[in-house]
């Protein structure tokens, strides 16, 4: 039993957080990016790196609906992957980390989830930390579904019907108040 629990709690894919930070870049695991990964983990603990788009796409398509993804992608891979994933609900933000800022700003400007196109890793980290803190404060990523009707009751009155009855009741009361008594 202890081994099973240990395996459950130490699994690399267990994500008890709402946010996952994904980094897709052919050179993501090179030494100059490893320090950036450590810094980013201080903001979003769940960081996964991908060198190939197919593995990244597979991961994105299998993320639970309630989780949120922040994606860092190279300019070259971003051109091909962003149009395919931009409409995914779980994808909250995209950051393009590239060498050619002007060129990548042109194609990415039509995607509202692209928050920044940067060439400097310190700027990338600062922007992600700032945006993540802002999202945490505002809870922008959460939707709170609320139902005030009992789903078990089949003959529930519609809101429009209830409002109609309320209007009629108020009109009746107003008419009765205006009637002069003898």
Q: What is the pLDDT of residues 10-35, one digit of tens each?
A: 344 444 567 899 999 998 988 888 98
> Hey, what domains does the chain have and what are their CATH numbers?
2-138 (3.40.50.2300)
pTM for this prediction = 0.68
Number of neighbours of residue 36 by Cβ within 10 angstroms: 19
**pLDDT at residue 168 tops 90:** no
What is the gyration radius of the CA atoms in the chain, in angstroms?
25
Question: Which residues, in sequence order, are CB contacts of 3 under 8 Å at separation 6+?
Answer: none
The vertex-77 CA angle with 72 and 80, nearest 5°, equals: 115
Q: What is the pLDDT of residues 99-156, one digit of tens each?
A: 999 999 999 999 999 999 999 999 999 999 998 888 877 765 544 455 555 555 544 5
Residue 182 is predicted with a pLDDT of 55
């Amino acid at each position: 039993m202890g081994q099973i629990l240990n395996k459950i709690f130490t699994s690399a894919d267990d994500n008890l957080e709402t946010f996952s930070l994904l980094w897709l870049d052919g050179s993501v695991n090179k030494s100059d990016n490893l320090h950036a990964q450590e810094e980013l983990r201080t903001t979003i603990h769940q960081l996964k790196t991908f060198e190939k788009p197919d593995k990244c796409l597979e991961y994105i398509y299998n993320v639970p609906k309630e989780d949120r993804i922040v994606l860092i992608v190279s300019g070259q891979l971003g051109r091909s992957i962003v149009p395919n994933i931009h409409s995914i609900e779980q994808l909250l933000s995209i950051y393009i980390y590239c060498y050619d800022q002007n060129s990548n700003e042109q194609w990415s400007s039509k995607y509202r989830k692209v928050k920044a196109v940067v060439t400097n890793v310190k700027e990338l980290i600062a922007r992600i930390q700032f945006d993540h803190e802002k999202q945490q404060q505002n809870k922008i990523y959460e939707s709170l579904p609320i139902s005030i009707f009992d789903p078990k009751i089949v003959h529930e009155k519609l809101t429009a019907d209830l409002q109609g009855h309320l209007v009629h009741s108020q009109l009746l009361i107003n008419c009765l108040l205006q009637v002069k008594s003898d």
